[in-house]
């Protein structure tokens, strides 16, 4: 029984070696705007996704491009001697979650005040090498 568990653990370790992730916490962009950019690159090859983000006019694209470069660097650190170009890296998952909200007050007519909610988000990006069927 112990050998079977050890074997299973080794298989999981090998499976985790192909993927890598990067996280961006408390990014001062609204989650809705970030999700719009994240949907453009989800499932794309890594270098195609980098090109898409590089030429996107949104501010969120700059932040995601930097995060994607970080995830690629993490993958390279995990798989020494391997090149991302040779392993068909793809953006496997990209999750945008809501983070803290800064609440500010904006003056309104007749002595009133309106609440301004400055939203932020957390982004988790996972890259994985795509399996090539031979």
Helices (H), 1-134: 2-18, 31-41, 46-54, 59-78
Taking CA atoms, 87 is separated from 26, 83, 84, in Å, by 31, 7, 5
pLDDT of residue 2: 64
Taking CA atoms, 84 is separated from 42, 74, 133, in Å, by 17, 11, 18
Q: pLDDT truncated to tens, each residue of the chain (134 aa)? A: 567 777 888 877 777 777 899 999 999 999 999 999 999 999 999 999 999 999 999 999 999 999 999 999 999 998 888 888 888 899 999 999 999 999 999 999 999 999 999 999 999 999 998 875 54
State in words which class domain 19-129 has: alpha beta
pLDDT of residue 79: 86
CA distance 129 to 16: 11
Listed by start position, the domains of the chain span 19-129
pLDDT of residue 134: 47
pLDDT of residue 60: 96
Q: 130: how many CB neighbours lie within 10 A of its CB? A: 12
């Amino acid at each position: 029984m112990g050998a079977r568990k050890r074997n299973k653990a080794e298989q999981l370790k090998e499976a985790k070696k192909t993927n890598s992730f990067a996280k961006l916490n408390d990014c001062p962009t609204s989650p809705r705007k970030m999700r719009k950019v994240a949907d453009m690159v989800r499932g794309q090859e890594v270098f195609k996704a980098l090109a898409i983000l590089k030429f996107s006019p949104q501010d969120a694209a700059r932040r995601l491009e930097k995060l994607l470069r970080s995830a690629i660097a993490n993958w390279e650190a995990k798989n020494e001697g391997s090149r991302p170009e040779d392993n068909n890296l793809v953006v496997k998952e990209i999750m945008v979650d809501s983070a803290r909200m800064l609440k500010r007050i904006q003056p309104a007519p007749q002595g009133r005040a309106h609440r301004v909610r400055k939203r932020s988000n957390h982004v988790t990006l996972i890259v994985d090498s795509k399996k090539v069927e031979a």
